Amino acid sequence: MDNTDVNVVYSVQHQLPLVMYIGQYFFFTGLSAGSFVISVIATLLGRKEFKPIGKITALLAPILLIIAPLNLILDLEQPLRFWHLFVFYNWTSPITYGSFLLTAYPVMGVIYAIMVYTNRQKAAKILGILGIPLAISVHGYTGFILALAKARALWNTAAMPTIFLVSAMVSGIGLVVIIAAARWKWFDKAATVEQREKDKRLIIQLAQFMAYIIMLDLFLILSDILVLLTAHSDAYQAGMLILTGNFAPLFLGVEIFLGSLVPMVLVLGPTRKSMKAIVIASILVNIGVYAMRFVMVIGGQSIPLS
Amino acid sequence: MARKRYAMVIDMRRCIGCHACTVACKAEMAVPLEVNATWLKIIEKGAYPDTRRFYLPRMCNNCTDAICARNCPTQATYKRDDGIVVVDQHRCIGCKYCIASCPYDTRFINPLKNIVQKCFFCQHRVDAGLEPACVESCPTRAMVFGDRNDNKSEISQLLASNATTVLKKEMETNPNVYYIAADETVMSNVEKGINYRTEGTITKLRL
Amino acid sequence: MKNFMSSITRRDFLKLGAASTAMLAIESQLHPLAQAMELMDGGRSVNRTSGLPRSSLPSTCTQCPAGCGIVGYVEESKLVKIGGNPKHISNQGALCARGQAGINALYDPDRVLTPLKRVGARGENRWSEIDWRQAYDEVAKAMQPLRSQPGQFVYMTEDLGNDTLGRRFTSAFGSANALGAAGIYDANKLVATQLTWGAAGDMPDVSRTKYMLVFGANPLESHPQFVGFARRLIDGMQQNQAKVVTFDVRLTNTSTRANELYYVNPGTYALVALAMANVIMREGLHNAAFIDQWTNVRSQDLAAHLAQFTPERAEAESGVSAAVIRRVATEFATTSPATTISDGIVSTHGNGTQSERAVMLLNIITGNIDNRGGLCMPRQYNLPDSGPVPPAPAPTALSNPVDLPLALQQSIDRSWQLIRDRQYRVGLLMTHGYNPVYSNPDGGSVHDTLVDETLVPMHVAVSPFMTETAALADIVLPETTYLEGWDLEVRSSPELVPFVALRQPVVPPLGSSKPFFDIATDLSGRIGGGMEQYFAFKSVQDYLTARIQSVPGLVAAGGLDYLKQHGVWYDPKSKPNYGSFSGGGFATPSGKIEVSSARLKERGFSALPTYQPIPAFGSLSQDELVLTIYDTAIQTDAKTANSMWLDEILHNNPVWLHPDTASQLGIKDGDKVKVVRTARTGQGVTPVDNSQLDPRERSLQTTAFITEGIHPRVVAMANGVGHSGFGRIAQGQKINPDDVERPLRDPNTDLVWWGKKDGTGANAKLIVPAMPEPVGGGQAWGDVVVTVGKVTE
Ligand SMILES: Nc1nc2c(c(=O)[nH]1)N[C@H]1C(S)=C(S)[C@@H](COP(=O)(O)OP(=O)(O)OC[C@H]3O[C@@H](n4cnc5c(=O)[nH]c(N)nc54)[C@H](O)[C@@H]3O)O[C@H]1N2
Ligand SMILES: Nc1nc2c(c(=O)[nH]1)N[C@H]1C(S)=C(S)[C@@H](COP(=O)(O)OP(=O)(O)OC[C@H]3O[C@@H](n4cnc5c(=O)[nH]c(N)nc54)[C@H](O)[C@@H]3O)O[C@H]1N2
Ligand code: SF4
Ligand code: SF4
Ligand code: SF4
Ligand code: SF4
Ligand code: SF4
Ligand SMILES: [Mo]
């Protein structure tokens, strides 16, 4: 429809229901799920050199997942009624299964962490395997929250849960890299040179793994956008909003360029051996993912529906 | 007695864009400033001298397949037997997921009560045998409310004898607010080339 | 519900009615349904949470001249909702936005609830609260010495027709200077109709017509009978399939609904009407029998007069094509019944009176006069003042329009001018429900006049609000709002069945505010000297009862008690009574419709309806534009801007500009622009000496709204916003509710968002000079020529 001749003389603007608390919540669950998966991988591989990373991540996962729902509760207009979620649950709402997942997962995560720290390898492995689907669900469901809000064209795509999962992996690994690097730099002094070299290689490998996942992420985003641009007009608008509209600087500039392309080059390019470059890349990756949460949550709601 | 199914028909051939319905709702529902359970969208289209203005009174469609109710995690939003979609003010936790889910921008957070609200076809008036406040106030009787399942009701007859449209049929929410002779552009989303002369509710970024 | 009702007997609620004011105070102690009962089958409302019925009382809305029937719903002595009165024959239970927002005015956090006395210089807006005794003393002390020259007491109000008490008070004092502001709106129309068919005003029978020609009226957005008229007009269009053709200078809520809309050059609609009349006569489509029997002209003489108004000439000057004029004229004459609709604006040009007569002519020559579906004469009860009526005082230069002998009343602008120019000496000015600093032309000079204590030694404002005018008073007497006082409200009936309606307090007066009846009575007692005998009523109800004695049907139905229960009375057997003239003819000197007016001729005006071009409009230069100030469905004049529900919708008034005009001027949508009145303003039919214009630059700033819905040579701005006083809500300011005393406290005042975001607009009237039209004396609002330019900072 050609709307150049249309003057909207009067209408009202609407509230933005979900604000950055929700974006932050998505960000933290993502970090948690990402670190948990890394931790479990480390545990499963059972190699000694992975141990420290397995430990850090085992601790990070539940901690992050306690911070995450705080955002959720803060976002509630009636925070003191959060218990209604459990008493008056509604199984057709993704938030309902989310609330149960959000309770089960940290509990499981704490037990897992105890196992890891008390060196009960076998129990940790079993719990880890059981925990991965839980971790994936916890984060995947956040993608479903958006995807099932049919009203918002930017969210209402089948790729949304996967994109959320993959970007969670990216940011989770990024965080692990940062922490592992910090440990390597400041708290690893007692280790032998050889050990330090090994640790460094591990961190570099982790970063490279991150870069490959970024590629996957970029592919998913690209396909999502291509579909948006060719689907119905609302979807097209949503696509254009992040490509050329108000959210383009954040999406193209921060999320894609600074948060994906630059880190990929830093990690895979000539600086791939530099710890500094890797850490910068990991920080950038997290900034990028945070921006992605912003673009999704706020951008998705910024197209008026009326 | 057959189950009731309440619906509203707004006849755009009669609407004069007077905002009486908006203010009726503010008064009846104690809707605070900043937010609106019903509002009037007005557009202008066409080049001089063939310009025309088109109106669209907007409110919750009290959808038969209400996404808001489906997505509400506490069942605070639910459908009554007569089809009215209501929010239990005491159960709502204010997660706002219903607002994000509604394809029609019709829900809002009451800034004075921190609770989610919307038009519920004036259930308290309907239960007392009265018409909704906006319907009663409409100077030109452009709005008609009633029971669709009653063949003799004015609304059934209007629906039977007129072509009607609903907002965003493709959302498959099966709205219960029907429009007669509504303009296609005013019913569609605001797209590019818009020009807000007067803006209502501000977009609040509560970071 | 029904069962509850029948348990209360008729006698019970008669009793309740009689004591209703007293009862309101103790309402909560009574049966909670007591007042809800009064309405029986009338409007109802229930509490949102408990579902219980609310107490209710019928009354009348005066947020605009329509006077719709309302029902006030009360909970715990607080007015919680205003609904429509389904029994009212005009609005039939519906209400417009403004009617429902009256509750905001009642609880305006900046309402004046105690008498105030000025501290410091006039206009400094510093006040001390005084009690009523002191207030009356001060006013009486100033008025008593004027008893020997009573003409020095001047009383000004918005609508004198509905202000019987104000006139009574002024006459009782011995002054003829009870002045109404009608001159600034539809005076020309009233004079034109009065001269032509012997009745002031008209009422097109729109629900029963088949064809409507709308000339510069906008009844679906603003009309003296807004709700009742709009409803019937839409009924006419939808149920009766009537065709509507509009001529306006901009796209309105009416023209957008019309079957055909034409943009017309400003001030030229009379020419269009006359050209159509010419076509009708020439084609022989006129009703010769009607013309010969009921008018004072012969068809052939009229045809000869009209011959000069050819469609081609009309096309050249009005911009409406000759072909359209021919076709629409033919349709109008061959569709029966048909009517024209013309409201205030058609007559608020310098050629207003004749223009209105030109439009009437179309109905006259087609016989569409007072017939079903035609242009009818107004139906309205005339309730004479009663009791001991004060003798009519000697006319004065203010009350008696010496230079406008045909005008029904003095032009209030002229009064202000006489005062300003020291040609008339004022001792004490009382303004009542009238805000000329905001709503008069040249409000700046009204302001200056009021500030000057040598011109107006004492100014008493009777007002519930600190309006721009009240802010320039020495004493403010806090009147109640319309929701807390009594009066009889008669209006021209859109159903053509006359009615009598009542305004009664739906809540008791807030604070120490008093209804005007009390103020007038108390004050006349304090002034004394014989004037108190005219206010010797036991109560306001006594006074109103006396006034309705002239309507026997109402008296038989129960008189005031009936009105208190139902809000309105009309004779249930009464019909529109079309063709009322056929018995006794028209109330004109000739008993006929005076198409040719000897009275006009005597004064040197054309006897026959004619078109007088506004010279400036015909020769607009590249950058000159005509300013139109229009009413909206959201705000009424000076009255409603303190209502937050209305302001939230309409709070500013960007100037409408055609895209071509805008691009010529290099103005983009949303740009800040300056609208400047040029010296050509008033160089029209209205003899205004431009050297007399206020020498200060008269300009305003606003933003541009670029729209395809306006004539390229016209710019338009909404009326009703742009206040510099009238409380904080009207000025778009947030108010912390904790700083406001109950019952005015409202948490919503903290949410006022538009003032900061969009601003509250500009008062366009401030740049309009006073320009009374030479025949009717009505202000020629439409004759303003402006330039518009981008503001660059
Ligand atoms: N809703 C509402 N109703 C009201 C009021 C209100 O403010 N709001 N005010 C009340 C009062 S006090 C009054 S006096 C009446 C006033 O009611 P109206 O007399 O109808 O006055 P306006 O709405 O100012 O003007 C009517 C139309 O004339 C058009 N017009 C202006 N100049 C020209 C011209 O040169 N040629 C032609 N053809 N058209 C022109 C304007 O664009 C406008 O659309 O309404 C009363 N009722
Ligand atoms: N350019 C232009 N100028 C216009 C018009 C236009 O269309 N264009 N319209 C003109 C017309 S038609 C008119 S009628 C005038 C109207 O202008 P005004 O004669 O000033 O009258 P109102 O708008 O009725 O409001 C007068 C004041 O009464 C106060 N008020 C409200 N309720 C009450 C009450 O119950 N008691 C008392 N004592 N006061 C109360 C309000 O605060 C308001 O300030 O403006 C005219 N000015
Ligand atoms: S009240 Fe009626 S006429 Fe006025 S805007 Fe609403 S639907 Fe339209
Ligand atoms: S319009 Fe929106 S809020 Fe209303 S029932 Fe439908 S989905 Fe729910
Ligand atoms: S905000 Fe309230 S009504 Fe809406 S989804 Fe959440 S709990 Fe349900
Ligand atoms: S039905 Fe009631 S709640 Fe809904 S828009 Fe109308 S007045 Fe508001
Ligand atoms: S038209 Fe509106 S403002 Fe005027 S009297 Fe009726 S309800 Fe009141
Ligand atoms: Mo007026």
**Which band of pLDDT confidence, cut at 50, 70 and 90, is reported for residue C668?**
very high
DSSP-based three-state secondary structure for C718: strand
The answer to whether residue C422 sits within a structural domain is yes
**Which band of pLDDT confidence, cut at 50, 70 and 90, is reported for residue B175?**
very high
Question: What's the mean pLDDT when you consider all of chain C?
Answer: 90
A186 or C6: whose pLDDT is higher? A186
The answer to whether residue C589 sits within a structural domain is no
Looking at the structure, tell me whether residues C450 and C507 fall in a common domain.
yes
Q: What is the CATH number of the domain that holds C303?
A: 3.40.228.10
C66-80 pLDDT per residue, tens: 999 999 999 999 999
Note whether B26 and B197 are within 8 A (CB).
Answer: no
Token pair, residue C518, equals: 């009390």
Proportion of chain B above pLDDT 70, given as a percent: 91
The answer to whether residue A10 sits within a structural domain is no
The answer to whether residue A232 sits within a structural domain is yes
Q: Is the peptide bond before B49 cis (omega within 30 degrees of 0)?
A: yes
pLDDT of residue C413: 82
Looking at the structure, tell me whether residues C401 and C258 fall in a common domain.
no
Tell me how many degrees the CA angle B162-B166-B170 measures, rounded to the nearest 5: 135
pLDDT of residue B116: 94
B116 lines ligand 5 (CB under 6 A): yes
C439 lines ligand 2 (CB under 6 A): yes
Question: C707–A5: do the CB atoms touch at under 8 Å?
Answer: no
DSSP state of B146: E
Q: How far apart are the first and last CA of chain A?
A: 15
Average pLDDT over residues C352-378: 97
pLDDT of residue C689: 58
Pick among B134, B137, B195, B203 to test the C interface (most C CBs inside 10 A): B137
Exposed, middle or buried: residue C183 (CB in 10 Å: 0-12, 13-18, 19+)?
A: buried
pLDDT of residue C687: 55
pLDDT of residue A138: 84
Looking at the structure, tell me whether residues C244 and C354 fall in a common domain.
yes
Q: Which residues in chain B have Cβ-Cβ distances shorter than 8 Å to A3?
A: 185, 191-194
- Nearest CB partner across the interface for B73, out of A9, A96, A152: A96
The answer to whether residue C623 sits within a structural domain is yes
Residue A144's domain comprises 16-301
Assess whether pLDDT exceeds 60 at residue C2.
no
Chain C residue with the nearest C-alpha to that of A5: C708
Distance between Cα C515 and ligand 7 center (Å):
21
The answer to whether residue C197 sits within a structural domain is no
B104-161 pLDDT per residue, tens: 999 999 999 999 999 999 999 999 999 999 999 999 999 999 999 999 999 999 999 9
pLDDT of residue B204: 36
CB atoms < 10 A from the CB of B4, how many? 18
- Residue nearest to ligand 7 atom 4, measured at CA: C64
Residue C27's domain comprises 10-106
B48 touches chain C (CB under 8 A): yes
Q: What is the CATH number of the domain that holds A155?
A: 1.20.1630.10
Looking at the structure, tell me whether residues C415 and C559 fall in a common domain.
yes
Angstrom distance (rounded) from CA B136 to CA C43: 9
A221-237 pLDDT per residue, tens: 999 999 999 888 778 88
Lowest mean pLDDT among C10-24, C587-601, C715-729: C10-24
Q: Could you state, in order of their start, the residue ranges of all structural domains in chain B?
A: 6-187
Residue C754: name the closest of C721, C791, C715, C712 by CA.
C721
3-state secondary structure C444-485: HHHHHHHHCCCCCCCEEEECCCCCCCHHHCCEEECECCCCCC
Average pLDDT over residues C33-50: 61
Average pLDDT over residues B192-200: 35
Question: A88–B91: do the CB atoms touch at under 8 Å?
Answer: yes
Looking at the structure, tell me whether residues C358 and C439 fall in a common domain.
no
Distances (CA, A) of C264 to B53, C343, C710: 18, 16, 10
User: Which of C532, C554, C569 is the C-terminal boundary of a domain?
Assistant: C569
Looking at the structure, tell me whether residues C347 and C459 fall in a common domain.
no
C645-656 pLDDT per residue, tens: 999 999 999 999
Chain A residue with the nearest C-alpha to that of B55: A10
The answer to whether residue A82 sits within a structural domain is yes
A259-306 pLDDT per residue, tens: 999 999 999 999 988 999 999 999 999 999 999 999 999 888 887 787
- State which ligand 7 atom lies nearest to the alpha carbon of C636: 3
Average pLDDT over residues C297-306: 97
pLDDT of residue C39: 33
pLDDT of residue C579: 94
pLDDT of residue A11: 85
A75-105 pLDDT per residue, tens: 899 999 999 999 999 999 999 988 888 888 8
Looking at the structure, tell me whether residues C124 and C220 fall in a common domain.
no
pLDDT of residue C696: 54
Proportion of chain C above pLDDT 90, given as a percent: 79
Assess whether pLDDT exceeds 60 at residue C528.
yes
Looking at the structure, tell me whether residues C287 and C426 fall in a common domain.
no
Question: B74–A76: do the CB atoms touch at under 8 Å?
Answer: no
DSSP state of C390: P
C698-730 pLDDT per residue, tens: 889 999 999 999 999 999 999 999 999 999 999
Angstrom distance (rounded) from CA A301 to CA B203: 11
Q: What is the CATH number of the domain that holds C642?
A: 2.40.40.20
Distance between Cα C185 and ligand 8 center (Å):
5
Q: Work out how many domains chain C is built from and give that number.
A: 4
The answer to whether residue C554 sits within a structural domain is yes
Q: How far is B1 from chain C (nearest CA, A)?
A: 21
Average pLDDT over residues B42-66: 95
C167-219 pLDDT per residue, tens: 999 999 999 999 988 777 788 999 999 999 999 999 999 999 999 999 989 99
Angstrom distance (rounded) from CA C456 to CA A221: 76
A136-161 pLDDT per residue, tens: 888 888 888 898 888 898 999 999 98
User: Which of C550, C569, C588 is the C-terminal boundary of a domain?
Assistant: C569
CB atoms < 10 A from the CB of C622, how many? 8
Ligand 7: lining residues by beta carbon, under 6 Å: C 61, 63-64, 66-68, 91, 95-96, 98-99, 226-227
Looking at the structure, tell me whether residues C501 and C560 fall in a common domain.
yes
Counting as contact any 3 or more CB pairs under 8 A, the partners of A are B, C
Q: Which residues in chain B have Cβ-Cβ distances shorter than 8 Å to A302?
A: 203
Question: A9–B44: do the CB atoms touch at under 8 Å?
Answer: yes
Looking at the structure, tell me whether residues C226 and C364 fall in a common domain.
yes
The correct answer on CATH 3.40.640.10 for the domain covering B6-187 is no
pLDDT of residue B82: 95
Distance between Cα C597 and ligand 4 center (Å):
64
> Which of left, alpha, beta for A96 (phi over 0: left; psi -120 to 50: alpha)?
alpha
Mutate to test the pocket of ligand 4, among B58, B61, B116, B187 (most ligand atoms within 8 A of CB): B61
Distance between Cα B92 and ligand 6 center (Å):
20
Amino acid at B189: N
